[in-house]
Amino acid sequence: MASAKSSRSRPAGHSGVFPVGRGGGGGGDGGVQLADKLKIFKTDNFDPDAYVQSKCQTMNEKEIRHLCSYLQDLKKASAEEMRRSVYANYASFIRTSKEISDLEGELLSIRNLLNTQAALIHGLSEGVQIDSLTSGPDGSAEDNISNVEDQEPSEIQKWSADFPDMLDVLLAERRVDEALDALDEAERAAVDAKRKQTLTAAEVSALKRSISDNRQRLADQLAEAACQSSTRGIELRAAASALKRLGDGPRAHSLLLSAHSQRLQCNMQTIHPSSTSYGGAYTAALAQQVFSVIAQALSDSVDVFGDESCYASELVTWATKQVMSFALLVKRHVLSSCAAAGGLRAAAECVQISLGHCSLLEARGLSVSSVLLKQFKPSLEQALDANLRRIEESTAALAAADNWILTYPPTGIHPLTRSSAANLALQPKLSSSAHRFNAMVQDFFEDVAPLLSLQLGGSTMDGITQIFNSYVNSLISALPGSVDDEANLDGLGNKIVRMAETEEQQLALLANASLLAEELLPRAAMKLSSINQSSMDDLRKRGADKQNRVPEQREWKRKLQRMVDRLRDSFCRQHALELIFTDEGDTHLSAEMYIDMDNTVEEPEWVPSPIFQELYAKLNRMASIAAEMFVGRERFATLLMMRLTETVILWLSEDQAFWEEIEQGPKPLGPLGLQQFYLDMQFVIIFGQGRFLSRHVHQVILDIIDRAMAAFSATGMNPDSVLPGDDWFMDVAQDVVSVISGKGRAANGDREVNSPTASVSAHSMSSFKSHGSS
């Protein structure tokens, strides 16, 4: 136990190596660089067995598994680092490889030239030896010549003499393989004859010149054949292979790629964008030609030249050039028009077709998709913006004629679930403009989802946020009081919409915005993550944290909710102003209505003031309407009613003119006025408990009563001496609540027993009196 405990408490990564994260990023290792982590493995005296023994000697099974996992992650991180390093210097690598290939060709030419010069020198030296024979004793030269003439030629001499004619026949009959074999045999024969001296130096030099000349003739013949448009497939590979066998590999590879380029240009002449009105068909036909030729060139290059780096680099450069030309053609003839017209779906289809062909090449080790993405991304962003503008303009036009009546999705707009009696209740009820907005956004997300590889997710979500904000502005403009409300003038613009005259229509505006922001738009945005799940899995394998996307999605939903809150505040402000002010600009809630009560002779009728009765009646009506509109979203309806109550009460609490008149006016607040004010506030407490009153507003009401009692106490009178008992206020308020709501009185008033604020009401009356006496 002690050893296990000590091994667990020992910090991982001693001996200079620190564990990396599962994704290989090492983000949580205190800033230790990958190069530092790999130092221990790069030393000359690194012993794997000793390293494993030092790590595993005191480890238990769990720690050994952790070490294995760590080493695997470090291996992946090292491979990723090497890949990034290669890509970072890939252009220089290709350029250097090309220069090396050219240098190899020049060295080959120099070698051939040196061989020719060596043969010439040998020939000259042989001539000198022949001249020396003629300068010998009299008759010796003639004897030697006669001996040579009388001597029968050897087999090698006969073969050497017949070699040029034999090779001419092979070249004329295009028997390339036999010609190559003959040249190789001649090379070996020349070396052997020189070593054994079976041929004279002149004969060896002549044989070497014949070999060199015929090699050049064969190379030119093969190059000419490779350039013919009729040379394809096996013939082309055979010609390139023969050239490589002749020692001219760089020229052979260049001719191979040139032949494929010529074939591609010939095939593309039959494809014209004007021959079809469908951009996807043109893209598919063009991609079929381009990528099939690239794939064939890749196969031919590997078959003939293998995986040699110099040839692979030239192939990548050539393929990149062909893909670039393809991308420019698609961009010019398809994507430009799609981007200008906002045809996101057509543009997305063209990109998907192109990327699909790229994936086939990537499966064979050739990655060119980055070239396409770089060229296509600007056009797709333009199409994205144009599509968003179209949604915004179309929705604004529909809002101008919307009757703001909630209905189920009309025919022609695809529903979220299959239509049936059981699923009818699951369908969203929206007005006509909101239905259209939702349908267009749904289609938009479906179109843009396949394009996430172009990293358009951020601009997509920002664009949806902007058009939803524009739609919310249209809804605010539909409120009757929005034109006169200076707080709403900024950002709304000159939007022409149909006014929502009735409370039901105005609540429909809120139903539109809340349902879109809380359910429909987030549900549509989920298509991005579901369709791109494989890409997200790849990111997780590279160390990306999926949870990092969750805060972004939550922040996006919060942005949408803030726009709904802005509409809700405009709604509550308008209805509060309708309650407080008359059409002529006078107020229904002033200090005089309480102060003047003590100047009347007749005993007042003790009921809550009309403004508060109207407030409760309005809340009661709206709550009944909202119960049908906000099915499943009752919390939003409750918060809306609370917000309206809060708007009225806060206006009263912050009205400086009201309180200056109460506290410092020429006429003080009298007993009847205080009693009426107390009754009004108690009435709000009674009807608001659990439905229309938040804890915050409840406390504000207590503060308001406390302030009114303080003003009354300043006159020298005790509020407790003039106010009736608690039961009287509750009875009067509850009677009015029952009359307005049309319900009988309940044992606990009109509040819900389990409501979050019901527990406060039991102490409300004692709190009022304690505030007043204090």
How is residue 399 written in tokens?
């809002």
Task: Give per-residue pLDDT as tens, 118-164.
Answer: 767 766 765 655 444 444 444 444 444 444 444 556 666 656 565 66
DSSP bridge pairs for 430: 407
- Res. 483 pLDDT band, cuts 50 70 90: low
- 3-class state of residue 734 by DSSP: helix
Task: Give per-residue pLDDT as tens, 561-599.
Answer: 999 999 999 999 999 999 998 877 788 899 999 999 988
Task: Give per-residue pLDDT as tens, 357-391.
Answer: 888 888 888 888 888 888 888 888 888 888 888 89
Backbone Cα Rg of the chain: 46
Tell the residue number behind the tokens 């020229």, with chain if given: 251
Tell the residue number behind the tokens 């992946």, with chain if given: 76
Task: Give per-residue pLDDT as tens, 666-724.
Answer: 999 999 999 999 999 999 999 998 889 999 999 999 999 999 999 999 989 999 889 99
Whether residue 448 contacts residue 459, with contact meaning beta carbons closer than 8 Å, is answered with no
Tell the residue number behind the tokens 């406060």, with chain if given: 760
- Of 460 and 654, the one with more pLDDT: 654
Q: Give the pLDDT of residue 567.
A: 94
Whether residue 449 contacts residue 527, with contact meaning beta carbons closer than 8 Å, is answered with yes
pTM: 0.64
Span 30-54, average pLDDT: 71
421/423 Cα distance (integer angstroms): 6
499/400 Cα distance (integer angstroms): 9
- The DSSP call for residue 430 is B
Residue type, 400: A
Whole-number mean pLDDT of the chain? 76
On the CB side of 513, CA atoms within 13 Å amount to 34
770/160 Cα distance (integer angstroms): 131
- 3-class state of residue 423 by DSSP: coil
Q: Between the CA atoms of 229, 234, 236 and 237, what dihedral angle is there, to the nearest 10 degrees?
A: 160
- 3-class state of residue 509 by DSSP: helix
Span 180-204, average pLDDT: 69
**Residues in Cβ contact with 385 at an 8 Å cutoff, skipping those fewer than 6 apart:** 463
How is residue 262 written in tokens?
């010529």
- 3-class state of residue 743 by DSSP: coil
How is residue 532 written in tokens?
């791109």
640/625 Cα distance (integer angstroms): 12
4/2 Cα distance (integer angstroms): 5
Tell the residue number behind the tokens 């809380």, with chain if given: 518
pLDDT for 223 beyond 50? yes
Please give, one letter per residue, the 3-state secondary structure of 574-615: HHHHHHHECCCCCECCCCHHHHHHHHCCCCCCCCCCHHHHHH
**Residues in Cβ contact with 255 at an 8 Å cutoff, skipping those fewer than 6 apart:** 223, 226, 227, 239, 240, 243
Whether residue 669 contacts residue 595, with contact meaning beta carbons closer than 8 Å, is answered with yes
